[in-house]
């Protein structure tokens, strides 16, 4: 199918403009519809940089990033945006109503679609509790919502666009463990045929991933399921124990 959502990184090496050494070296992996791929690694390992190449915030120096078999530099940016939703590590809310913020990627979304997305993102109750619901105002930069509420609104915003591929950059870290678990269970149900790539800090967020990539200093040093990595990966064991 033309809009399947298969993501492939093929021998990708990337350095920021003007930097001497690459932040990503020889990255290869494939993420298919229905799969959850998790990326874990210490701060500065290159997780955010890795995600940024799919929506073409940057282009790699070597290798290729492909979406449904097509190198992304041959796709129109608008086309990528339609298929790929990135929830950034520091998600941005702008001054305006909650509804306005949730419709950022899809202006024609109905209120019902917004509530459906909020329900999955575990954001329904705090928005319902507000006197003006979806019309409640967010202040510039989202300073009048908590970090966890902001993360949930930005996850809902991604859900509204109904993409084929979700990129979550540390999107669950400001949530308590129980909310994190509920949110991911709901996500799994609604995005069961999408491709999901999750960058996470907490091991509990990713134990059920189909594949975990252990990133260290810009390289994938180990890969496997949680159980496999517990057996085989000293780097993973260190993260688990930390």
- Under the rule (CB under 6 A), what is the footprint of ligand TTP? 16, 23, 41, 43-49, 89
Residue 23's binding partner among Mg ion, ligand TTP, none (Cβ under 5 to 8 angstroms by kind) is: ligand TTP
DSSP three-state, residue 24: strand
Q: How far is the CB of 58 from ligand TTP (least distance, A)?
A: 8
Choice between 148 and 218, CB closer to ligand TTP: 218
Nearer to ligand TTP, 21 or 112 (CB): 21
Give the pairing of strands 165-169 and 84-87.
Answer: parallel
We find the least distance from the C-beta atom of residue 242 to ligand TTP, in angstroms, to be 13
User: What residue spans of 59-170 are helical by DSSP H?
Assistant: 77-83, 98-102, 111-120, 124-128, 147-160
Using an 8 Å Cβ cutoff, are 218 and 23 in contact? yes
- Picked from ligand TTP, Mg ion, none, the partner binding residue 43 (CB below 5 to 8 A depending on kind) is ligand TTP
Residue whose CB is less far from ligand TTP, 17 or 69 = 17
- CB closer to Mg ion out of 136 and 217: 217
d(CA 129, CA 17): 46
Closest CA to 133 of 122, 143, 124, 146: 124
112: partner contacted, choices Mg ion, ligand TTP, none (Cβ within 5-8 A by kind): none
Q: Which helix (H) or strand (E) holds 204?
A: none
Q: In this structure, what token pair is assigned to residue 49?
A: 């940089």
Where does this chain bind Mg ion (CB under 5 A)? 47-48, 89
């Amino acid at each position: 199918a033309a809009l399947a959502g298969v993501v492939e990184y093929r021998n990708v090496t990337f350095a920021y403009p003007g930097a001497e050494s690459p932040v990503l070296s020889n990255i290869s992996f494939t993420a298919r519809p229905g799969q959850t791929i998790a990326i874990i690694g210490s701060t500065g390992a290159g997780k955010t940089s890795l995600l940024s190449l799919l929506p073409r915030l940057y282009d790699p120096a070597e290798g290729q990033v492909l979406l449904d078999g097509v190198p992304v530099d041959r796709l129109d940016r608008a086309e990528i945006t339609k298929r790929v939703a990135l929830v950034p590590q520091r998600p941005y809310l702008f001054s305006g109503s909650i509804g306005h913020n949730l419709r950022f990627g899809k202006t024609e979304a109905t209120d019902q679609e917004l509530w459906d997305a909020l329900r999955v993102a575990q954001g329904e109750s705090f928005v319902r509790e507000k006197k003006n619901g979806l019309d409640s105002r967010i202040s510039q930069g989202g300073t009048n919502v908590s970090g966890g509420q902001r993360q949930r609104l930005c996850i809902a915003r991604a859900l509204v666009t109904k993409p084929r591929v979700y990129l979550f950059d540390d999107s669950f870290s400001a949530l308590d463990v129980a909310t994190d678990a509920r949110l991911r269970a709901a996500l799994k149900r609604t995005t069961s045929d999408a491709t999901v790539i999750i960058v996470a800090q907490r091991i509990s967020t990713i134990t059920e991933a189909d594949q975990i990539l252990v990133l260290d200093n810009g390289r994938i040093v180990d890969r496997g399921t949680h159980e496999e990595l517990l057996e085989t990966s000293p780097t993973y064991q260190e993260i688990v124990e930390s």
